[in-house]
Amino acid sequence: MPAFGRTGVANLPLHGGKAPKWLFERMTKLAREICIVVVEDFGPEEMLQKMSDPYWFQAFGCALGFDWHSSGLTTTACGALKEGISEIENDLGFFIAGGKGGTSRKTPKQIEDRGHLISVDPANLVYNSKIVAKVDSAALQDGYQLYHHVFLFTKNGSWAVVQQGMNDRTKYARRYHWLGETVEDFVCEPHYGICCEKRGEALNLVATESTPAREVISQIAVENKPEKTLEELKKLRTLELPARHQIVVKDIHPDRLRKTILSTYERSPEGFEELLSLPGVGPKTIRALSLLAELIYGTAPSFSDPARFSFAHGGKDGIPFPVDRRTYDQSIQLLRKAVTRAKIEGSEKRRAINRLDDWHFSR
């Protein structure tokens, strides 16, 4: 069920370091069993949907034993699941590519390496992975630099993404959830959910209200001769602009954008998505074209922050507090069932069950 009706934010302070080896080893075992239960009982597509649901994902990370309010929950939970099912992916029909830092850049190859195991062209999945990363780094400029990208997919080509960015200034992280089956348009309200405690002003070119701006940006890139575009950008740097534009103009250098602007003009992309997907078109190019669209052509983009999920906390480690209690109760029951079936030490199993019970009864 699409989660667009839920609103709020999630507290994800940046925490450094790694999960202790003894904990991560147990997390991989439990993550494996949870995945097996979901896939056996409901199918691999259900696992995609659950991973793309910020509430379920948060509960999943807590069930594995990770501190709920840490940014590390995202990277460690995904890492544990990836490692836990690495030897049974083909049997499950459920695959995971990518990860944190340098591993995220290996996502395309890891998808392609599984091409003989799936029934669709892996090139389509590689494109989906790349455009999702481009959207959350260039089309949505909210101050969070992506450092984690995990692409989950099934044999029949269904997919989901969990990726996370960091803001070094605020010391907070923001998590982005995507579910392929709900994406009708990569560049218009595509997210299944975005989680973050810190909300602010963002250049949000994937908002519905940014539709006119996307169209004008695409026209500028294709119809304006590069020299005209660069000349207009130089003029913008000399104008007295509103506060929000002082931030985005100061690091735009037209001469450095010359090669990208010229290449974009020559390729003549059809529409904003194709423009965004071009090599070399990143945040500064999109920001520059957005400024032209607003200040010269009168088409303003949205500056609304899209983060919309909330988690209330309590007790020692905190609990996700969902708006939809029925759905969350079902998730708790499923996770408890998985824990009960998990092939891990009895003491670890009891502790995991106790964590689930604590969340359920402490609300």
Q: Is the pLDDT of residue 8 over 80?
A: no
Domain boundaries, the chain: 21-203+307-361, 208-295
Q: What is the pTM of this model?
A: 0.83
Residue 136 has pLDDT above 80, yes or no: yes
φ and ψ of 336, to 5 deg: -65, -40
Task: Evaluate whether 322 touches 328 at the Cβ level (below 8 Å).
Answer: yes
Which has the higher per-residue pLDDT, 243 or 113? 113
**pLDDT tens profile 195-246:** 876 777 899 999 999 999 999 999 999 999 999 999 988 887 665 555 555 4
Six-digit token pair at 148? 């984690």
Which of 68, 85, 63, 66 minimizes the C-alpha distance to 76? Answer: 66
Q: 3-state DSSP call for residue 14?
A: coil
* Residues in the chain, overall count: 363
Contact predicate 89/39, CB 8 Å: no
Can you name the residues that pair with 162 across neighbouring β-strands?
150, 177
The SS3 assignment for 154 reads strand
Give the mean pLDDT of the chain: 82
Q: In this structure, how many other beta carbons lie within 10 angstroms of the beta carbon of residue 225? A: 11
Give the contacts of 36 (CB within 8 A, at least 6 positions apart): 88, 92, 338, 341
pLDDT at 248: 60
What's at 164, amino acid-wise? Q
Other Cβ atoms closer than 10 A to 353: 16
**pLDDT reported for residue 201:** 80
Cα 125–131–136 angle (5° rounding)?
130
- Identify the band that residue 322 occupies on the pLDDT scale cut at 50, 70 and 90: very low
pLDDT value at residue 29: 85
Rounded to 5°, the CA angle 247-251-254 comes to 125
pLDDT at site 251? 65
Is the Cβ–Cβ distance between 77 and 60 less than 8 Å? yes
Q: What confidence score (pLDDT) does residue 313 get?
A: 34
